[in-house]
Amino acid sequence: MSPRQIVIFDIDGTLTDTTTLDDANIARAYRELFGLEIDVDWSRYRTSTDSGIAREILETSRGAPPEPAELERLTGRLVDLLAEGHAREPVRPMKGVVEALAALEQAGFALALASGGWKRTAEAKLAAAGLDLAHLPRAFADDHEERSGIIEIASARAAEALGARFERMVYVGDGIWDLVTTRDMGMPFVGIAAGSRGDGLVSNGAHHVLGDYSDTAAFLAAISAARPPSGV
């Protein structure tokens, strides 16, 4: 029987423990390639995707959107910087994530990936973290400039691949932008964030937030009970 429910995961900070590493790399790549000092407070941008942010940065600074060849150089540089960083400090998967994904699949959920990052960098991070998820349908910033669009494309690809029609979709993410997107979409949300970042998700309306996946049963319970974030 085809699955009735799908759980769609963000990648950065949700499957891989990569948030802070990323900010420095992105700032460095924009400095090297475009001579720009960019703001790495991603919540200040109009969109929460690498493609939307690239457009906003370049249109604001020079009045023209990025050319495909420039994006090719940017993502190539980011992959190089990621590899250099990984050699110094290995990219890690989030704690317990392998077991949590296996438990979801065993419980009959379809899974998909929807990252606001570039395909090249997001897949490089999964590989560096040793997460073998090549079988999962996926969508990236290359596919759409809005996170909601990326989530919808990932879901459509999964439905197509599995011949399924999903009655319920849950999104798992770590950022405030993940929460805002699911609230706008009326989509159940589970936050993965520890400490003050986790508190921030709760105070902004998330009903289920876990620091990581170390308690598989708690994560599965959160997925089953998940509902859209409340308006604040």
Q: Which of 6, 8, 9, 12 binds Mg ion (CB under 5 A)?
A: 12
Q: How far, in Å, are 80, 84, 111, 148, 155 from residue 135 at the CA level? A: 25, 27, 10, 22, 14
Stretch that binds Mg ion, among 9-17, 27-35, 155-163, 215-223 (CB under 5 A): 9-17
Q: Does 198 bind Mg ion (CB under 5 A)?
A: no
Q: Does 10 bind Mg ion (CB under 5 A)?
A: yes
Helix, strand, coil percent values for the chain (each to nearest 5)? 50, 10, 40
Whole-angstrom distance, CA of residue 23 vs CA of residue 20: 5
Q: Locate tokens 């708690």: which residue?
A: 218
If the CB atoms of residues 112 and 159 are measured against Mg ion, the closer one turns out to be 112
If the CB atoms of residues 34 and 155 are measured against Mg ion, the closer one turns out to be 155
If the CB atoms of residues 17 and 152 are measured against Mg ion, the closer one turns out to be 17
Beta strands in 15-141 (DSSP E): 110-114, 138-139
Tokens of 196: 């003050």
Count of residues near Mg ion by CB under 5 A: 5
Q: Does 175 bind Mg ion (CB under 5 A)?
A: yes
Q: Which amino acid is at 198?
A: G
Q: Does 145 bind Mg ion (CB under 5 A)?
A: no
Whole-angstrom distance, CA of residue 165 vs CA of residue 1: 11
Q: Which of 17, 145, 152, 174 binds Mg ion (CB under 5 A)?
A: 174
Tokens of 12: 């950065």
Q: Rounded to the nearest whole angstrom, what is the least distance from the CB of residue 13 to Mg ion in the complex?
A: 4
Q: Rounded to the nearest whole angstrom, what is the least distance from the CB of residue 200 to Mg ion in the complex?
A: 13
Q: Does 22 bind Mg ion (CB under 5 A)?
A: no
Binding site for Mg ion (CB under 5 A): 10, 12-13, 174-175
